[in-house]
Amino acid sequence: MILLKNVFLNGNVCDILIDGNKIAKIADKLSTVTDEIVDCSDKAILPSFCNTHTHASMMFLRGIGEDKNLFDWLKQDIFPREAKLKPEHIYPLSRYAILEMIKTGTTCFTDMYFYVPETLRAVQNMGIRAVLPYLGMDFFDDKKTESSIQQAIQHLKEPSRNLKIKKAICCHSVYTCSQRLIQEFSNLAKKYDAYLQIHVSETQKEVDDCVQKYGCRPVELLYKWGFMGPKTFFAHAVHLNDDEIELVKKTGTVLGHCPTSNLKLGSGQMPLQKYLNAGLKVTLGTDGVSSNNSLSMISEMKVAALSAKNKADSVLAATVDDAFRMATQNGFEAFGINAGEIKEGNLADFILVDMNNQFLLPNNNLKSNMIYAADSSCITDVFCDGIPVMRDRKIPHEAEIISDFKQVCSDLS
């Protein structure tokens, strides 16, 4: 057991008892025999972040292909470099990505990339949570379709020995995946009660091409093909019309908002407030560093809020509570994880922040400060499942993780 003494929570100073992997008790002046007492004077506790869409191992692509639109960027810069990747590159790339996520307060992420076993190994090593899907992308090649289906089955059938890691499957997009692949993956997700993910309506070009090829928009197409439901995640979902919004609401499909990536690639701005007003489930993700340049959910909250206000032309759009909830509670809830709020009975996934940090003073509104002012320097400690993964801003084996990452970047250059 761990006892946090004199920690700031929701405007009050209290003690918090961590028993195993859960928040056991929140009260004034607890006196309990514990394994460790942590003095949290001048520190506040907040829920950690859940990054619901990223490509962790793309770390080696930071700064590559700047100032290009999505399709030119993919074809000219990303796909050719990804072709050089080998399984042995993924573990050090993923570890470095997780290092950055922990530093910025994230304890859970959902990935979409290649060589999943190596990412799984990195997640286990670093001690956080993840939803790790097998990625299907057949480019309408029948042989690749069959191979992807078989590999997805193998991925889902492999028993998970780590309760902090959830299995999933995903298709890249309607423009890289065949109807058969998308429908088979949907069937497999239902059979194995797994999560699904896909890039959807990221650009207007994607929508226009889909209408030209299939006679309907991407969300309408995926609805016809059975690829929607409360365990399905649509990454981006920038360009949805009213009919598609109703389909998302009707099926309980979850949206993964990636505002920085969308703005940087000129993909457009999600009408976030319109989606929230319609009652859609919206979470927050960074996308990969190749299109965001950062895995910080702190900066993602700020961009999400500002983009929403700009899009809606209203200061009332995307309130402080909205932005913070999308980065925390909404993401964890969407994955069936009992975290995202600091309350008794919840899993002990949380961050401690330095209330004397220059970005958090004055403390008129801590959540507002975290969204609009903070950076990673504010975070001193990160706990996942009741276990510290960063203490006093230090992560175990940090120098080794950085060194291994730099070597892989050199190998892939």
pLDDT of residue 330: 98
Out of 19-28, 51-60, 77-86, 178-187, least confident range: 77-86
Share of the chain above pLDDT 70, in %: 100
Write down all domains in the chain, each with its CATH number in brackets. Answer: 2-47+348-398 (2.30.40.10), 49-334 (3.20.20.140)
Share of the chain above pLDDT 90, in %: 95
Q: Residue 400: helix, strand or coil by DSSP?
A: helix
Record the pTM: 0.96
Q: How many C-beta atoms lie closer than 10 Å to residue 410's C-beta?
A: 9
Peptide bond before 362: cis, by omega within 30 degrees of 0?
yes
pLDDT of residue 213: 98
The 10s digit of each residue's pLDDT in 295-347 is: 999 999 999 999 999 999 999 999 999 999 999 999 999 999 999 999 999 99
The two tokens of residue 215 are 């006679």
pLDDT of residue 31: 84
User: 34 falls in which pLDDT band (50, 70, 90)?
Assistant: confident
d(CA 136, CA 194) in angstroms, rounded, equals: 15
pLDDT of residue 32: 84
d(CA 401, CA 33) in angstroms, rounded, equals: 36
The 10s digit of each residue's pLDDT in 260-272 is: 999 999 999 999 9
Look at residue 159 and tell me whether its pLDDT is greater than 90.
Answer: no
pLDDT of residue 129: 98
User: 145 falls in which pLDDT band (50, 70, 90)?
Assistant: very high
For residues 101 and 135, the answer to whether their CB atoms sit within 8 Å is: no
For residues 65 and 73, the answer to whether their CB atoms sit within 8 Å is: yes
- Strand ranges across the sheet with 49-54: 49-54, 106-111, 129-136, 165-171, 195-200, 232-236, 254-257, 281-284
User: 161 falls in which pLDDT band (50, 70, 90)?
Assistant: confident
For residues 352 and 339, the answer to whether their CB atoms sit within 8 Å is: no
Look at residue 244 and tell me whether its pLDDT is greater than 90.
Answer: yes
User: 33 falls in which pLDDT band (50, 70, 90)?
Assistant: confident
The 10s digit of each residue's pLDDT in 169-180 is: 999 999 999 999
pLDDT of residue 160: 77
User: 253 falls in which pLDDT band (50, 70, 90)?
Assistant: very high
Pairing of strands 232-236, 254-257: parallel
| Residues paired with 350 in a beta bridge | 47, 383
Q: What is the DSSP string of 141-173?
A: -HHHHHHHHHHHHHHHHSPP--TTEEEEEEE--
Q: What average pLDDT does the chain have? A: 96
For residues 272 and 318, the answer to whether their CB atoms sit within 8 Å is: yes
